[in-house]
Amino acid sequence: MRLKWRIASIIAALLLAAVGAYCIELAIPKHDYFVQRAGTLRRVEIIDSSESVAISETVELESSTGLLVSMRTLRPRNAAARRLPLVLVLSGRGAGKDAVELVSDPQGIAYAAIDYPYDSDQALDEFWTSAAGLYAVQQAFIDTPPAVLLALSWLLQQPWVDQKNVELVGVSLGVPFAAVAGAVDKRFTRVWLMHGGGDNLSWVMYLARDQIENDTLRNLASRVALFAVYGNSFNTARWIRETAPRPVIIVAAHDDDIVPRSSQQPLIEAATSEHVELIWTEGQHVGRRRQEEVQLLLDIISSRVAAAR
């Protein structure tokens, strides 16, 4: 009996040690991982290309680390002889690389957008009710900033890109990831954070209000969910500070129905820095079916990019 108790105690201690080590792994910010995971370009494949008013290409990239990135680019057809300012977009969930389709006319700007590196058939909408896709979600979170860095490496090799005028735009869900990538990679000359949150906990709690009605349970579940996807690595306000002295432009919606004011607040406070600008827009949260909001954000970006040339 005593031997069995000792064996059980050893097993329990090993399990606790493993859980503790895993929790430490989740808690430590992944700055070095973001840089190392990007690796170097090993393979580039042009999946398809079309040309009308603008040239559109779908590109697949593979890194030396095995990271795969699917991207679409859009640029004016008549701009082959000159370098263009680049706008690389991390959009909200569901748009991915197809976000470039929202640009009807690139007007002297090269656009690119990537898919989130989520390698699973498990729908993200089911995250709250099933843990089946947890590993894929975790990997997608920490692989998204490296995916941005890898995409940028290929884009900067293209003869139509102005390497001195490179904008990174995070929209909605893309905000925390763009904040990381923009801070880590100094090749971005300016970072945009549009219609997103700075307090990820209050943001997740707000989005989970229909699934979990009890405030205490929702708070606990949201904390666990964020911790499980390396939430400590995506402190948006901290990454904004690390982007300085390069400029950051925050665009927030007055009547945002997806991001609560409590989550906007850290971004509002970040705008007190001389390197951060805050722009308020009328209307609700941007979405693919909200053409007025989409066009407003595109107009803000294009006007600033044109002014910087």
Position 92 scores a pLDDT of: 75
Position 288 scores a pLDDT of: 77
Using alpha carbons, select from 49, 90, 45 the residue that is nearest to residue 68.
Answer: 45
> Does residue 125 carry a pLDDT above 70?
no
| Number of compact structural domains in the chain | 1
Quick one: tokens of 242? 């690390």
In the Cβ-directed half-sphere of 254, how many Cα atoms lie within 13 Å?
Answer: 4
In angstroms, rounded to a whole number, what is the distance separating the alpha carbons of residues 75 and 81? 12
In angstroms, rounded to a whole number, what is the distance separating the alpha carbons of residues 35 and 50? 33
What residue type is assigned to position 23 of the chain? C
Query: What does R_g of the chain's alpha carbons equal in angstroms?
Result: 21
Position 127 scores a pLDDT of: 43
pLDDT tens-digit readout, 103-113: 888 888 999 99
In angstroms, rounded to a whole number, what is the distance separating the alpha carbons of residues 80 and 204? 44
**245: cis peptide before it, omega within 30°?**
yes
> Does residue 79 carry a pLDDT above 90?
no
Beta strand extents in the chain (DSSP E only):
41-51, 54-63, 68-76, 84-90, 110-114, 161-171, 190-194, 248-253, 276-281
| Angle of helix 236-243 versus helix 261-270 axis, rounded to 10 | 20
pLDDT tens-digit readout, 264-298: 999 999 999 999 999 999 989 988 778 888 888 88
Position 135 scores a pLDDT of: 81
Position 128 scores a pLDDT of: 47
Residue 285: which CATH number? 3.40.50.1820
Who contacts 298 (Cβ-Cβ below 8 Å, separation ≥6)? Answer: 102, 103
User: With pLDDT > 90 as the criterion, what percentage of the chain qualifies?
Assistant: 60
What residue type is assigned to position 69 of the chain? V
Q: What is the mean pLDDT of the chain?
A: 87
Position 153 scores a pLDDT of: 97
In angstroms, rounded to a whole number, what is the distance separating the alpha carbons of residues 169 and 91? 8
For residue 110, how far is the Cα from the chain centroid? 19
Position 134 scores a pLDDT of: 79
Average pLDDT of the segment spanning 213-241: 92
> Does residue 188 carry a pLDDT above 90?
yes
Position 73 scores a pLDDT of: 95
For the chain, the residue count is 309
Contact by Cβ (8 Å): 74, 106:
yes
**Structural domain that includes position 298:** 2-308
pLDDT tens-digit readout, 33-72: 999 999 999 999 998 888 777 899 999 999 999 999 999 9
Q: How does 133-160 read in b/e, with b if 16+ C-beta sit within 10 Å?
A: beebbebbbbbbbbbbbbbbbbbeebeb
pLDDT tens-digit readout, 126-147: 444 445 577 888 899 999 999 9
| Angle of helix 215-228 versus helix 200-207 axis, rounded to 10 | 120
Model's pTM, two decimal places?
0.89
**117: cis peptide before it, omega within 30°?**
no
Position 29 scores a pLDDT of: 76
At 105, phi and psi to the nearest 5?
Answer: -145, 115
